[in-house]
Structure 1
Amino acid sequence: MAERLRDLSQPIDVPLLDATVAAFYGTGSKEERSAADQILRELQNNHDTWLQVVHILQNSQNLNTKFFALQVLENVIKYRWNALPVEQRDGIKNYISDVIVQLSSNESSFRKERLYVNKLNVILVQVLKHEWPARWQSFIPDLLSAAKSSETICENCMAILKLEILLKFFPMGSYQNLTLQCLTEVAALQFGDFYDPQYVKMYTIFMVQLQTIIPHGTNFAEAYTNGSSEEQSHIRVLESAPANRGGLLMGLEYLIGISYVDDTEVFKVCLDYWNLLVLELFEAHHNLENPALTASLMRLQPTLMPEVVDGLPSPLVQRRQLYSVPLSKLRTLMICRMAKPEEVLIAEDENGNIVRETMKDIDVLVQYKIMRETLIYLSHLDHEDTEQQMLKKLNKQLSGDEWSWNNLNTLCWAIGSISGSMMEEQENRFLVMVIRDLLNLCEITKGKDNKAVIASNIMYVVGQYPRFLRAHWKFLKTVVNKLFEFMHETHPGVQDMACDTFLKIVQKCKRKFVTTQVGENEPFVSELLSSLSITVSDLQPHQVHSFYESVGQMIQAEPLPAKRDEYLRRLMDLPNQKWAEIIGQASHSVDFLKDQDVIRTVLNILQTNTSAASSLGTYFFPQISLIFLDMLTVYRMYSELISNSIVEGGPFASKTSFVKLLRSVKRETLKLIETFIDKAEDQPHIGKQFVPPMMDPVLGDYARNLPDARESEVLSLFATIINKYKIVMMEYVPRIFEAVFQCTLEMITKNFEDYPEHRLKFFSLLCAIGTHCFQALIQLSSQQLKLVMDSIIWAFRHTERNIAETGLNLLLELLKNFQVSEFCNQFYRTYFLTIEQEIFAVLTDTFHKPGFKLHVLVLQHLFCLVDSGTLTEPLWDSSTVPYPYPNNTMFFRDYTIKLLGSSFPNMSVAEDNKDLYAEEAAVLREQERRRMLSIPGLIAPNERQDEMLDS
């Protein structure tokens, strides 16, 4: 059998080959599989086997056999292509192309032979890599010509272009040239064909699919910009020639229709195209506001801009007129299919029920972002049409013609998405009509579910327009009071959305609430505090916390200290009464604090305080001072209960609901203190007041506790304290170091997995000490300092990026500080070579690429230190170095060369080096943000911070 297959002087025995392949894939015995493997390897290695490929493909019925033959052919194309005669190269090229067209020409054969066709596509791309563009200039025209034959051929043409192998092979510039040629050829085809509906459909599918395969960051506009004059004119010919505009508009009409198809993937593809088209049209319009740019364009393309009409270049006026109808229809499409924004908490589920959203759908959020940007551009291109489309849709909700939850949701999400894109006067008029109609809709609509949907949409829309609310006090007050009504509505999600919207509005309008407005007897915040207990009576604890954060934002905006303190006292009156009651009961019987309902109440009170502290910062000082010492007493007691439970019940006790509840109180106590200190101004007296009382209840407790009972928040709290008060904390550092250092290292250095929360927080604390209290490290013993350095090395060798970067930043800070200290020579003589070796180890592996810049900075510091002559003692050990060096520079150069030459077999870093360019990516992101800020509405008003001041 083997001999018959090895004899390639005559046509190969295909049935026998089928049997051999079948044996190899497991239908035979172990011996048969081994024999088949040997035969197939010999055939693969035989340089003449490829000549039998066509014969095999035409006669075999076994898909695996066909794949074997194609693998043989692929190897020939990869490694021997240029050695083949031209006739053979053309024969292979034409045969593969013909088979692909034949199999993908109708739906049945295409679906049935899909795997086979996919492999043929890969083979064709291998040919393309050698032939295009020099020896196969007609590839794109051939592809496009085939694409209009049928939908399945068009689909497969796209599959060829988007093959990953193609994307990886071609450099970015070459791939842009390839896609640009596609655009050019599509535009250059005979335009009479555009009036053939079948061709228009194929053209539309092709253009939409084409955009999905262009690499990220490239778009049609860029392709146009990078193209030659001839290529640009081909792309513009559809717009500029009257005879061709009908075809262009018909193609866009088809694409609008396709965009309504109820298929997410199809819509995503269409949306990408619409986004690019509208962006290009908007930028052409937007750039006209820059006279210098307009003049530059006229110099570069005088034939495209022969005259100016009403201050605008006439071709651009014509373009806007040309696209006005399809863009109007596109606005309708965007409104009808608007994706759900992140802020919306209640929506319709797949069963038609109103539910509270509990998870974020990242795909939907990405889709919303693209749709929102598209609608912003559409709004800028024609504000009037955008407004009229939305009001028309809203009227159809009121009339009942288009009433449905989904229709109302998408409409209101679209209305909210264009906030900031209109002139203020137009936006005010528009929003008044929108809110009026929505309130009317809420009045006339029956049913709790229906009203919940409308309420949700009212809250969403008003939350998106803070500029309007700031300018209209009565309306703002009405909206907030309406939110207070919704806070009593127990329908799922309504209370959450009311609280979230209240916080969003207060953050942007807080000064309005502490100022006595015209027609009012007192500031709104005072009125609110008088009825606080009633307003929050139906809210869940987490909603109450959100409410307290919102009111804290208001109080923070009060400029008069006396009023501010009074408002704070009134805000905290309810939780303080409950707190005083609990502490009073505990003073008579400590066991009262062990009741689980009491523990939950204590936790809730602490969380309420944390929420208020997050808004008030320094101004929260009177409140935290009031409860601070009692809070530490409760902390100490609950810690003892936890320890006793674990001692009595073993490790399992730490998993019980009772212990978890106690630990939640401890963590919230630490979180409250850290939140206040982090948000408060840098006032040393605060640190001096709060740190000493925490030494034993918090630090001592951490040191005494079992590892499983140590709260990682202790580490982050003291890191925050040292970062905040810096050198003022110097006297406390030895105690901090003694309490947390060695016991935490024992927890986290056994492996890279245990106690993940403690890891980063520990190194953040160490970094804070090294940065702001360096003198405390100098006072350590040599053994303690070695422990510090070992832990730093362990940190930057960690595979967790944040831990590694924290370790590297700490190392850099210590190196700089030791350089200017009296211990410079002593320190570097001990650690210089170890640091260099360890840094090179992480620099040259594949796990620490994100730290590349910091690795280089550490090495730069070491190199410069040696060259500067600062080190006056030799870095080498004379007992191990055979001969003395004239200076450290010569030794260091020699040592580094030997180190690199002998120690690092992994010097070749992997191909994916995107992490090395994180800084450049950050610059690009900042440039994009500045661009977005230059376009009104592109960054939503409720998302802007420094750029939008509350006035």
Structure 2
Amino acid sequence: MIFRYILFAIRERKVKLQHKITVFQGNAANTAIQLIFSSLYKKLTSILSLQYLVLTSEVEEVEIFKICLEYWNILSAELYREVPYQQIAPSYLRTGNSNNVPTRRQFYSVILSKVRRIMISRMARPEEVLVVENERGEVVREFMKDTDAINLYKNMRETLVYLTHLDYVDTESIMTEKLANQVNNTEWSWKNLNTLCWAIGSISGAMVEDDEKRFLVTVIKELLGLCEQKRGKDNKAIIASNIMYVVGQYPRFLRAHWKFLKTVVNKLFEFMHETHEGVQDMACDTFIKIAQKCRRHFVTVQLGESQAFVDEILTNINGIICHLEPHQVHTFYEAVGNMIAASVDNVQQTKLIEKYMQLPNDVWNTIISEAKKSVDCLKDPEVVSNILNILKTNIRASKALGAPYVHQLTKIYEDILHIYKVTSENINQAIRMNGPMVVKQRLIKSMIAVKEDTLMLIGSFFSKASNIQQVLDQFLTPLYTFVLADYRDCHPEARESEVLNMLAILINKVEDRITPRIPEIFDLTFEHTLHMIDKNFEDYPDHRKNFYILLQSVTNVCFSALLALNATQFKLVYDSIMWALKHTMRTISELGLEILQIMLRKFQTCDPQAAQTFYQIYYLETMQHIFAVVAECSHTS
């Protein structure tokens, strides 16, 4: 009667009541786990309670399911940790004797089999990808990393992995059965296929390698057969996407079977020409996953091959990416960059980088040639768009290649800085003629994006550079001439906050070797930024945040440069830190506190005379500011 009432309440959407019942069941079952062997009565009661919890787990209400999931996670993890490495032999070496299975696992086996079926049937989406238009008017894909859906998937994946370790045969049996039901149409639907394939992908690595190989081969054969069987581009696209997803989740299998890996990648290249919605994105996403997890295999000449596969990819790169959207091309370049980064032969790697960047460099050289004839071409929306795409391609290449990217950057560095300066002049001219509101126009937004992406590219290189002396000798002086001088001279609306972030990255990388040039950095950026943010606590939030990130880096790494400032300059630095403390924006106020803490610690170890002078002048004022912040009710943090 009680259980019938529970079901009735659910059907009537009395979710609050069900929520309480579920919490009670979860807590009761969790308590019962410790007492389960005390008597036969308690055993039977516990099983009955768990059966109710299994039925409750089938309720569509997500919040209720999360509570049930939490308990199944606890139970499966505890059972696994009792004997974590019990099933280590491949299936053909194991006996069918169930006496080897721990008693508690046998006791829960029927319940856990039902839980496996629920987990497989309800598996959450592995990642959330949103196609959005950013503030610059560009269409970009955002990978959501911290949503409820992602966290649900992570919890379900962990639980299903534990359940697979407890009895991989049952997990495989359920998945194989559900896959057969897709093929024979008894359970065919896009949703059912998606959840099944997400579940199959989630248990990668949970089986012994030989069993995983046999299982995966079966899955791929069935999915390929299903793709042949179904009619309609929509059906085929869904099945193809799921094949790509499953294959991308099993890098261990791919690394062990080169011919299959090569076949999969070539199939992905075919999908990159498929214009059905979502297929190209899935192909590119799968390609980069495989490139990251199997990258050494692509730069090594495999048995029976005449060259490394990456050479073949680079030879045919134009034909592979010709139907991709710009953001997909950027993903493709990052994937290939990961392969090239795996090369241990420096000569081979340099040649690969030249071949890898040839296509964007050809377009870049054409733009530079036209710009040398007339800089007015840099006002053409199509040219600006091409520059943006080339910069984004280089950013992804820098991210993937790391330090070896220097071979590419040295070729385009000065031209990039010249483009930066001319673009900035075009923006400033538009502001002078039409006022600050002109920055909202699409072309001006794109020009601002050129400046920002240039700075992001240089910052990305600085963060990964290995030859610090080369950075100091070759890259710093042009940077000061073109970028920092431009920052000083720009209209505030045209100043890029990324300049400050890039400088912070540079300082953290080269450390105290840049100390002699800190005064020059301050002259070109510090006061000009401070005048933008000292009117209130809201204007220019990005400049505000990056200003304090830069100040934090200088204080932490180049403290002696602060001590070398004259009294007026140091007072300005000190006042800016106190200004940060007054912010109601938590990020800024916490940065201010961190900078102050770093400064006080530095004074403990620096020249005693300098420390004494600081405390004589600023100690009381510092305490007053701190107590004022503590007493201010708006500072809830």
Distance 1:400 1:732, change over 3 A: same
How far apart, in 1, do the equivalents of 2:129 and 2:483 lie?
Answer: 40
Instruction: Give the C-alpha shift of residue 812 in structure 1.
Output: 2.7
Which one is further off, 257-266 or 332-341? 257-266
Q: Is residue 79 of structure 2 the alignment partner of residue 281 of structure 1?
A: yes
Correspondence for 2:227: 442
How far apart, in 2, do the equivalents of 1:640 and 1:148 lie?
Answer: 74
Distance 1:683 1:220, change over 3 A: farther
Q: Is residue 178 of structure 2 the alignment partner of residue 399 of structure 1?
A: no
Q: Which amino acid aligns with 1:408?
A: L
Correspondence for 2:624: 837
How far apart, in 1, do the equivalents of 2:316 and 2:459 lie?
Answer: 31
Q: Deviations over 1:381-405 (max 9, x none)?
A: 1111111111121122222222211
Q: CA contact under 8 A between 2:37 and 2:43: conserved in structure 1?
A: no
Correspondence for 1:666: 451
Instruction: Give the C-alpha shift of residue 426 in structure 1.
Output: 1.7
Q: CA contact under 8 A between 1:515 and 1:523: conserved in structure 2?
A: yes
Q: How does 1:916-927 map to 2 (within 5 A)?
A: none
What TM-score results when the alignment is normalised by the length of structure 2? 0.89
How far apart, in 2, do the equivalents of 1:362 and 1:767 lie?
Answer: 31
Distance 1:643 1:815, change over 3 A: same
Question: Of residues 417, 429, 449 in structure 1, which corresponds to 2:214?
Answer: 429
Q: CA contact under 8 A between 2:128 and 2:144: conserved in structure 1?
A: no
Instruction: Give the C-alpha shift of residue 585 in structure 1.
Output: 1.2
Q: Which amino acid aligns with 1:836?
A: M
Which one is further off, 437-446 or 686-695? 437-446
Q: Deviations over 1:282-326 (max 9, x none)?
A: 34444999xxxxxxxxxxxxxxxxxxx9677xxx51x32232222
Correspondence for 1:881: none
How far apart, in 1, do the equivalents of 2:25 and 2:634 lie?
Answer: 34
How far apart, in 2, do the equivalents of 1:604 and 1:497 lie?
Answer: 21
Correspondence for 1:208: 22
Q: Is residue 394 of structure 2 the alignment partner of residue 609 of structure 1?
A: yes
Q: Which amino acid aligns with 2:57?
A: S
Correspondence for 2:279: 494
Instruction: Give the C-alpha shift of residue 345 in structure 1.
Output: 8.1
Question: Of residues 223, 244, 268 in structure 1, which corresponds to 2:66?
Answer: 268
Q: CA contact under 8 A between 2:532 and 2:539: conserved in structure 1?
A: yes
Correspondence for 1:765: 550
Distance 1:483 1:817, change over 3 A: same
- SS of the residue 1:721 aligns to: helix
How far apart, in 2, do the equivalents of 1:377 and 1:815 lie?
Answer: 49
Instruction: Give the C-alpha shift of residue 344 in structure 1.
Output: 7.3
Correspondence for 1:337: 122
Q: Is residue 333 of structure 2 the alignment partner of residue 519 of structure 1?
A: no
Instruction: Give the C-alpha shift of residue 445 in structure 1.
Output: 2.0
How far apart, in 1, do the equivalents of 2:290 and 2:503 lie?
Answer: 34
How far apart, in 2, do the equivalents of 1:344 and 1:721 lie?
Answer: 32
Instruction: Give the C-alpha shift of residue 463 in structure 1.
Output: 1.6
Q: Is residue 332 of structure 2 the alignment partner of residue 547 of structure 1?
A: yes
User: What RMSD in Å do the two structures reach over aligned CA positions?
Assistant: 3.0
Correspondence for 1:304: none
Correspondence for 1:812: 597
Q: CA contact under 8 A between 1:682 and 1:725: conserved in structure 2?
A: no
Correspondence for 2:137: none
Q: Deviations over 1:723-753 (max 9, x none)?
A: 1112222232111101111111111122221
Q: Which amino acid aligns with 2:54?
A: I
How far apart, in 2, do the equivalents of 1:445 and 1:624 lie?
Answer: 49
Q: Deviations over 1:590-630 (max 9, x none)?
A: 21221111111111111111110111121111211111111
Distance 1:220 1:757, change over 3 A: farther
Q: CA contact under 8 A between 2:292 and 2:335: conserved in structure 1?
A: yes
- SS of the residue 2:294 aligns to: helix
How far apart, in 2, do the equivalents of 1:149 and 1:604 lie?
Answer: 61
Correspondence for 2:610: 823
Instruction: Give the C-alpha shift of residue 663 in structure 1.
Output: 0.7
How far apart, in 2, do the equivalents of 1:731 and 1:408 lie?
Answer: 62
How far apart, in 1, do the equivalents of 2:510 and 2:457 lie?
Answer: 17
Correspondence for 2:380: 595
Distance 1:357 1:689, change over 3 A: closer
How far apart, in 2, do the equivalents of 1:722 and 1:344 lie?
Answer: 34
- SS of the residue 2:402 aligns to: helix
Instruction: Give the C-alpha shift of residue 540 in structure 1.
Output: 0.5
Identity %: 50
How far apart, in 2, do the equivalents of 1:719 and 1:366 lie?
Answer: 33
Q: CA contact under 8 A between 1:339 and 1:368: conserved in structure 2?
A: yes
Instruction: Give the C-alpha shift of residue 786 in structure 1.
Output: 0.7
What TM-score results when the alignment is normalised by the length of structure 1? 0.61
Q: Is residue 631 of structure 2 the alignment partner of residue 631 of structure 1?
A: no
How far apart, in 1, do the equivalents of 2:550 and 2:252 lie?
Answer: 42
Q: Deviations over 1:614-661 (max 9, x none)?
A: 111211112111111111111111111111111110121121112111
Q: CA contact under 8 A between 2:311 and 2:352: conserved in structure 1?
A: yes
How far apart, in 1, do the equivalents of 2:444 and 2:8 lie?
Answer: 65
Distance 1:800 1:678, change over 3 A: same
Structure 1: 5+ residue runs without aligned partners?
Answer: 1-145, 164-203, 226-231, 290-308, 347-355, 851-951
Q: Deviations over 1:127-170 (max 9, x none)?
A: xxxxxxxxxxxxxxxxxxx9789559999xxx9xx99xxxxxxx
Q: CA contact under 8 A between 2:123 and 2:199: conserved in structure 1?
A: yes
How far apart, in 1, do the equivalents of 2:19 and 2:460 lie?
Answer: 55
Q: Is residue 155 of structure 2 the alignment partner of residue 370 of structure 1?
A: yes
Distance 1:635 1:530, change over 3 A: same
Q: CA contact under 8 A between 2:582 and 2:589: conserved in structure 1?
A: yes
Question: Of residues 175, 179, 183 in structure 2, which corresponds to 1:390?
Answer: 175
Correspondence for 1:473: 258
Q: CA contact under 8 A between 2:19 and 2:64: conserved in structure 1?
A: no
Q: Deviations over 1:46-93 (max 9, x none)?
A: xxxxxxxxxxxxxxxxxxxxxxxxxxxxxxxxxxxxxxxxxxxxxxxx
Q: CA contact under 8 A between 1:208 and 1:273: conserved in structure 2?
A: no
Q: CA contact under 8 A between 1:645 and 1:653: conserved in structure 2?
A: yes
Q: Is residue 351 of structure 2 the alignment partner of residue 566 of structure 1?
A: yes
How far apart, in 1, do the equivalents of 2:256 and 2:589 lie?
Answer: 49
Q: Deviations over 1:248-284 (max 9, x none)?
A: 5455444434433444344334434433443343344
Structure index of larger Rg: 1
How far apart, in 2, do the equivalents of 1:272 and 1:746 lie?
Answer: 52
Q: CA contact under 8 A between 1:635 and 1:665: conserved in structure 2?
A: yes
Q: CA contact under 8 A between 1:770 and 1:777: conserved in structure 2?
A: yes
Instruction: Give the C-alpha shift of residue 362 in structure 1.
Output: 2.6
Correspondence for 1:457: 242
Distance 1:432 1:149, change over 3 A: closer
How far apart, in 1, do the equivalents of 2:563 and 2:64 lie?
Answer: 64
Q: Is residue 353 of structure 2 the alignment partner of residue 575 of structure 1?
A: no
Q: CA contact under 8 A between 1:345 and 1:493: conserved in structure 2?
A: no
Q: How does 1:187-226 map to 2 (within 5 A)?
A: 208-210=22-24, 221=30, 223=31
Q: CA contact under 8 A between 1:682 and 1:724: conserved in structure 2?
A: no
Q: CA contact under 8 A between 1:684 and 1:728: conserved in structure 2?
A: no
How far apart, in 2, do the equivalents of 1:732 and 1:421 lie?
Answer: 54
Q: CA contact under 8 A between 2:182 and 2:193: conserved in structure 1?
A: yes
Q: Deviations over 1:494-536 (max 9, x none)?
A: 1111111111111111111100011111001101100000000
Question: Of residues 493, 515, 521 in structure 2, which corresponds to 1:730?
Answer: 515
- SS of the residue 1:823 aligns to: helix
Instruction: Give the C-alpha shift of residue 367 in structure 1.
Output: 2.3
Correspondence for 1:683: 468
Which one is further off, 421-430 or 523-532? 421-430
Distance 1:606 1:153, change over 3 A: closer
Correspondence for 1:655: 440
How far apart, in 1, do the equivalents of 2:535 and 2:120 lie?
Answer: 56
Q: How does 1:164-183 map to 2 (within 5 A)?
A: none
How far apart, in 2, do the equivalents of 1:245 and 1:754 lie?
Answer: 65
Structure 2: 5+ residue runs without aligned partners?
Answer: 88-97, 132-140
Q: Is residue 403 of structure 2 the alignment partner of residue 618 of structure 1?
A: yes
